[in-house]
Amino acid sequence: MSAALLAVRGLSKRFGGLQAIRDLSFDMAPGEVLGLIGPNGAGKTTAFNLISGFLVPDEGDVVFDDRSLVGLKPHAVCQVGLARTFQIVRPFPRLSVLDNVKIGALGRRPAMAAAREHARAVIARVGLESKMLAAAGALTLPERKRLELARALATEPRLLLLDEVMAGLNPTEIVAILGLIEGINRSGVSILLIEHNMRAVMSLSHRIVVISFGEKIAEGPPAAVANHPKVVEAYLGDAYVHAPQA
């Protein structure tokens, strides 16, 4: 029906007295990089959890490739081609880097040898070859972020949900991972990105959706969104809305 790869329709989620997400809707075209931004506590990670099956929405629908994902368990969501990373990285600490990535690869390549080969290739792509056999629990934070990315990538998704893969990285590391994400996108994978690093999200995203207190307040190309009065207000307070631009 629609050409959208992902269509989020009227999504709502309440936790007790807190309306975490209210009537959230947006579309993603195939091949697009969409940035999802908003102040702390705006509901970005909740939105991710709703889309990836870790939470069930109270209302609304998530349609991926003309198929509703609501009610699917996370593993089934992954199997249809939508993979996520976690903001707080969750490696399998006792497994090696290779075995960690292999878990992702085994979904589409059930034979161990084939999965291992694919995992090796993905590890090389994210630049973790030298750590291939190290236990994941022994990696540094930047390495863990790359591992998190590699594992999700190994599931061969069509849509990758990245939850703050740059948080805690230094500028050099951010430049490296930016290049990596651009490369992944160029290979045909659509990317939905939660990111606090504004420069990174502005340079990567084709479009940006801004949410605040669980509601979408703006949507559009990066430059337009950055100057949108509601966005400025959400981030800096309404005193800054009419302030002269620096």
Partner 1 sequence: MRVACALALAALLVLPLFLSSYAVTLFIFIFFYAYLGQAWNIVGGYAGQLSAGHAAFVGVGAYASAMLSMHAGLTPWIGMFIGGALSACLGVVIGYLGFRFGLRGFYFVLLTVAFAEICRIVALNTEATGGAQGLYIMFTGNPRQFQFQDNRVYYYVALGLMLGATGIAAWIERHRFGAYLSAIRDDEAAAEALGVDTFRYKMLAMTISSFLTGVGGTFYAFYLFSLQPNAVFGIPLSVEIIIRPIVGGAGTLLGPILGSFILSPLAEVSRAYFQAGGWSGAHLIMYGGLLIAVVLFLPQGAYPFIARHLRLGQR
Contact between 12 and 19 under an 8 Å Cβ cutoff? The reply is yes
Q: What radius of gyration do the chain's Cα atoms show?
A: 18
Should residue 48 be labelled a site residue for partner 1 when binding is judged by CB under 8 A?
A: no
When binding is defined by CB under 8 A, the residue of 24, 78, 160, 217 that contacts partner 1 is: 78
- Nearest Cα residue to 50 out of 67, 37, 63, 35: 63
**Residues pairing with 208 in the sheet:** 35, 220
Sole window of 17-25, 35-43, 61-69, 83-91 interacting with partner 1 (rule: CB under 8 A):
83-91
Say whether residue 35 binds partner 1 (CB under 8 A).
no
Q: Does 112 bind partner 1 (CB under 8 A)?
A: yes
Min separation Cβ 83 and partner 1, Å: 7
Q: Are 70 and 129 in contact (CB under 8 A)?
A: no
Q: Which is nearer to partner 1, 100 or 212 (CB)?
A: 100
Which 137-166 residues touch partner 1, going by CB under 8 A? 151-152, 154-155
Nearer to partner 1, 60 or 157 (CB): 157
How far apart are the C-alpha atoms of 17 and 58, rounded to whole Å?
14
Cβ 149 to partner 1, closest distance in Å? Answer: 12
Looking at residues 165 to 184 of the shown chain, list those that interact with partner 1 (rule: CB under 8 A).
none
The answer to whether the beta carbons of residues 201 and 221 sit under 8 Å apart is no
Q: What one-character-per-residue DSSP string does 126-154 give? A: HT-GGGTTSBGGG--HHHHHHHHHHHHHH
Does position 45 interact with partner 1 (CB under 8 A)? The reply is no
Q: Which is nearer to partner 1, 5 or 98 (CB)?
A: 98
Judged by CB under 8 A, the residue of 21, 86, 169, 180 near partner 1 is: 86
Pairing of the two strands 59-64 and 207-212: unpaired
Q: How far is the CB of 116 from partner 1 (least distance, A)?
A: 10
Of 10, 71, 90, 238, the residue at the interface with partner 1 (CB under 8 A) is: 90
Taken in order 209, 88, 139, 100, the sign of the CA dihedral is: negative
Q: Which stretch binds partner 1 (CB under 8 A): 3-11, 38-46, 87-95, 214-222?
A: 87-95
Compare residues 18 and 76 and give the one whose CB is closer to partner 1. 76
The reply on whether position 103 binds partner 1 by CB under 8 A is yes
DSSP-derived letter for residue 1 is: -
Strand-pairing partners, residue 59, are: 12
* Interface with partner 1, residue 95, by CB under 8 A: yes
Cα-Cα-Cα-Cα torsion 107, 53, 225, 200, nearest 10 degrees, comes to: -40
The DSSP bridge pattern shows strands 82-84 and 33-37 to be unpaired
Give the whole-angstrom CA distance, residue 29 versus residue 211. Answer: 19
Residues that bind partner 1 (CB under 8 A): 52, 54, 73-76, 78-79, 83-84, 86, 90-95, 99, 102-104, 106-107, 110-112, 115, 151-152, 154-155
